[in-house]
């Protein structure tokens, strides 16, 4: 039953994503799912494919559903269906300048063929018209189709990456967040190590510690602590992420990311005031 809820959620967002893409295309002439980077990376199709399957993310989170590989297959199928629905909605609602409906003149298959082969290729910042794409339109459509499939797979990956309780397996909810004042890189590394390995008293000290007022070297770090809680068993977990400023930009240090589960009944919410 829970997995049926995922399908229903995806069906709703599939229709919404296809409709939104059509409305945007009709109003401002931007067909989002056809946007590509270097003609090969179907960024728009990936985004719309994820939007089309985003109902599964919302349903999984709200109803605490842990999707299986079978659900992943359905997510990819629904993502592909989003692309087909976009074409069909355009076909079913297109009215020509003389008032005739496109659906009264040609079949859906012929319409798709015309759309793919008669589209004009535009290149460069000035969007210079390079002429009709011809049969190459089918290649572009294949690239977009792969993008939709990737979007469905990405939605599944997002669900799988949602943090879950170490005791009961339910999804955790982010409760509070705080970021430290500028630290030295060594201080940040030491704090992460103590958070991982120290006892609970040490974890409290790590969360409460603040560096003294001082000037920090050009290369400095900051730690963002996120406090998550389980609504079912009331346990909490701390997630820590480190960013380092190299003089030009902040960069995430993935190797220093960590999670520390707290024992049931212990809360560190006061440390996030």
Q: Indicate the DSSP class of residue 29.
A: S
Number of Cβ within a 10 Å radius of residue 138: 14
Read off the pLDDT band of 233 (50, 70, 90). confident
Q: What is the pLDDT of residues 183-195, one digit of tens each?
A: 988 899 999 999 9
The pLDDT value recorded for residue 117 is: 79
Instruction: Identify the pLDDT of residue 118.
Output: 67
Residue 211 clears pLDDT 70, i.e. is over it: yes
Interior angle at CA 153, CA 143 and CA 16, nearest 5: 80
**pLDDT of 127 strictly over 90:** no
Residue 234's pLDDT is: 87
3-state SS, 128-179, equals EEEEECCCHHHHHHHHHHHHHHHHHHHHHHHHHHCCECCCCCCECEEEEEEE
pLDDT of res. 130: 45
Q: Which spans in 94-135 are helix H?
A: 102-105, 108-117
Angle separating helix axes 136-161 and 43-63, nearest 10 degrees: 30
Q: Could you tell me if 147 and 39 are in contact, meaning their C-beta atoms sit under 8 angstroms apart? A: no
Alpha carbons within 13 angstroms on the beta-carbon side of residue 220 total 12
Nearest to 196, CA basis, from 206, 187, 210:
206
In the chain, what percentage of residues exceed pLDDT 90? 53
Residue 23 pLDDT class (50, 70, 90 cuts): very high
Q: What are phi and psi of 87, to 5 degrees?
A: -65, -40
- Whole-number pLDDT of residue 246: 80
Provide the greatest CA pair distance for the chain: 77
Cα–Cα distances (Å) from 28 to 10, 15, 23, 84, in that order, read 26, 20, 8, 21
- What is the mean predicted confidence (pLDDT) over 41-47? 92
Burial environment of residue 60 by CB neighbours within 10 A (0 to 12, 13 to 18, 19 or more): buried
pLDDT of 161 > 70? The answer is yes
Per-residue pLDDT, averaged over 61-87, amounts to 93
Q: Please state the rounded mean pLDDT for residues 68-77.
A: 94
């Amino acid at each position: 039953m829970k997995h049926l809820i995922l399908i229903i959620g995806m069906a709703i967002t599939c229709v919404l994503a296809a409709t939104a893409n059509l409305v945007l295309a009709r109003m401002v002439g931007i067909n989002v799912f056809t946007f590509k980077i270097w003609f090969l990376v179907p960024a728009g199709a990936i985004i719309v494919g994820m939007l089309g399957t985003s109902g599964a993310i919302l349903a999984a989170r709200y109803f605490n559903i842990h999707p299986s590989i079978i659900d992943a297959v359905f997510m990819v199928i629904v993502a592909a269906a989003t692309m087909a629905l976009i074409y069909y909605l355009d076909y079913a609602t297109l009215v020509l300048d003389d008032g005739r409906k496109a659906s009264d003149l040609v079949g859906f298959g012929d319409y798709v063929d015309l759309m793919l082969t008669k589209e004009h290729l535009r290149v460069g910042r000035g969007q210079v018209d390079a002429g009709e794409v011809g049969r190459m339109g089918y290649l572009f459509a294949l690239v977009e189709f792969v993008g939709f499939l990737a979007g469905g797979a990405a939605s599944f990956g997002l669900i799988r990456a949602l943090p879950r309780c170490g005791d009961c397996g339910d999804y955790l909810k982010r409760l509070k967040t705080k970021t430290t004042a500028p630290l030295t890189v060594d201080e940040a590394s030491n704090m992460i190590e103590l958070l991982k390995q120290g006892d609970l008293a040490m974890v409290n000290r790590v969360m409460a510690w603040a560096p003294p007022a001082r000037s920090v070297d050009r290369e400095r770090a900051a730690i963002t602590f996120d406090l998550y809680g389980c609504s079912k068993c009331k346990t909490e977990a701390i997630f820590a992420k480190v960013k380092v400023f190299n003089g030009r930009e902040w960069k995430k240090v993935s190797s220093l990311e960590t999670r520390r589960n707290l024992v049931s009944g212990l809360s560190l919410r006061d440390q996030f005031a």
